[in-house]
Amino acid sequence: MRLVLCESAAETGQAAAAIFAARIERGPCVLGLATGSSPLPVYRELIRRHREADLSFAECVAFTLDEYVGLQPVDARSYRATIRDEFVDHVDLPVAALHSPDAADPDPQALHRAATAYEETIRLAGGIDVQLLGIGANGHIGFNEPSSSLASRTRIKALTQQTREDNARFFGEDETVPKLCLTQGLGTIRDSRHAVLVAQGAKKADAVAAAVEGPVSAACPASVLQMHPHATVILDAAAASRLRNVDYYRHVQRLNDELGLLP
Ligand code: F6R
């Protein structure tokens, strides 16, 4: 696991976007996209590079991590609509190349079929090359809440009350945040070739410390990244504030900067 310690949220976006851009410039690739606040600086920087530095997504395929059950893809509160609004519609990624779990039909059998189909579509695309991740205050990645199997695949999950409250800001006052979602599993995320987690703010500091320096445990789903062959964790100062081995991470970061060891 590589730690990248940044001063600001904007810097986390630049560091993560540089990883995505380097992969995209090498040729056609499959991107994993996350929703929420954490990836916004990354998308801002990728959009800037698209506009000002000719970074093209025309040959990319993209998969989102998760979707609320019961929302139509065109519903503005759906993660598919959100990712289009925040990123895809601002670059040249073909909309037909954007995949997201189909969670519109709340019938359990339909959801099981959609989850299986999503896994198969990822497999047929050749797997995910670079997966962007945020982390919940309780350590979730995707919507794999604590107690999720570290080997799980795309499936139905029940959201915790905390996650629903955290995400209530995307819903109107008189609207209910869905109780269920379809999410890529921790096993699905672990299969990505490069996992890039970004976190900003003190609210994430405990979850980040547990994920990076705690035991590998379903109690902190993001700790599965310790088992990932190529994971990069990009943090601003507040999100890194509860880490113990900061001096070592900075030392490695300096070596990398000097020697250009790692992508
Ligand atoms: C979103 C997702 C979630 C979020 C996490 C953090 O697709 O999968 O894991 O990344 O809930 O959300 P923010 O970034 O809004 O704090």
Query: Tens digits of per-residue pLDDT, 64-74?
Result: 999 999 999 99
Cβ 38 under 6 angstroms from ligand 1: yes
Nearest to 101 by CA among 123, 85, 116: 116
Mean pLDDT for the chain overall: 96
- Prediction pTM value: 0.97
Task: Give per-residue pLDDT as tens, 65-109.
Answer: 999 999 999 999 999 999 999 999 999 999 999 999 999 999 999
**pLDDT on residue 70:** 97
pLDDT of 262 strictly over 80:
no
Quick one: angle between helices 9-25 and 40-53, nearest 10? Answer: 50
What total of structural domains would you count in the chain?
1
Alpha-carbon distance of 82 to 85, in angstroms, equals 5
pLDDT mean over 226-248: 98
Give catalytic residues, as residue numbers. Answer: 66, 138, 140, 145
Residue 246 maps to which CATH number? 3.40.50.1360
Task: Output the residue whose Cα is nearest ligand 1's atom 12.
Answer: 36
- Distance between CA atoms of residues 55 and 48, nearest Å: 9
Residue nearest to atom 2 of ligand 1 (CA): 142
Determine the structural domain holding residue 59 and report its residue range. 2-259
Quickly tell me which residue has 């945040």 as its tokens. 177
Region for 126 from its dihedrals, namely left if φ exceeds 0, alpha if ψ lies in -120 to 50, beta otherwise: left
Per DSSP, the three-state class of 55 is: coil
pLDDT tens digits, 50-65: 999 999 999 999 999 9
Query: Which of 38, 160, 225 has most ligand 1 atoms within 8 Å of its beta carbon, as the pocket-test mutant?
Result: 38
Statement: residue 142 has pLDDT above 80: yes
pLDDT in tens, 167-187: 998 898 889 999 999 999 999
**Predicted pLDDT of residue 199:** 98
Here the tokens at position 218 are 């379903």
Ligand 1 centroid distance, CA of 131 (Å)? 13
Q: What is the DSSP-derived secondary structure letter of residue 251?
A: H
Q: 37, 84, 143: which to mutate for ligand 1, most atoms within 8 A of CB?
A: 143
User: Going by CA atoms, what residue is nearest to atom 11 of ligand 1?
Assistant: 136
pLDDT of res. 160: 96
Q: Residue 259 above 80 pLDDT?
A: yes
Q: Write b or e for each residue in 110-128: b if 16 or more Cβ atoms lie within 10 A of its Cβ, otherwise e.
A: ebeebbeebbeebeebeeb
